[in-house]
Amino acid sequence: MFTEEVDLSSYIEKYRTSDGRPLIEEVSVGGESGANARVCDYKWVEKVWLQCKENGISFYYHQTGAKLIKDRKLYNIPRKLQHIQAHKAGLDL
């Protein structure tokens, strides 16, 4: 499990179909829930989203997680709002 920025570019480039499309069909991203959840930085989410968008890969931001950093501010997001807040980001492809 990652607790830092993820870069999918080497996987996207290495694994392609014979006609050049990425073998990765969908990426799902979400922060952890619960009292001991690790922090998720929104910049990390955006980076993966951009990699997917540039390569025609479906992207689903399913939840913010309990602790989200956005614009250098830490947000503690209640479980019942994590899916709603992720959807409001408008990142699903």
Q: For every one of its 93 residues, what pLDDT tens digit does the chain have, with 9 covering 90 and above? A: 556 788 999 999 899 999 989 999 999 999 999 989 999 999 999 999 999 999 999 999 999 999 999 999 999 999 999 999 999 999 999
CA-based nearest residue to 87, from 67, 66, 51, 61: 61
CB 58 within 8 A of CB 27: yes
**Residues near 71 by beta carbon (within 8 Å), at least 6 away in sequence:** 42
Q: Which residue shows structure tokens 């989410």?
A: 45
**Strand, helix or coil at 11?**
helix
CA-based nearest residue to 15, from 4, 27, 5: 27
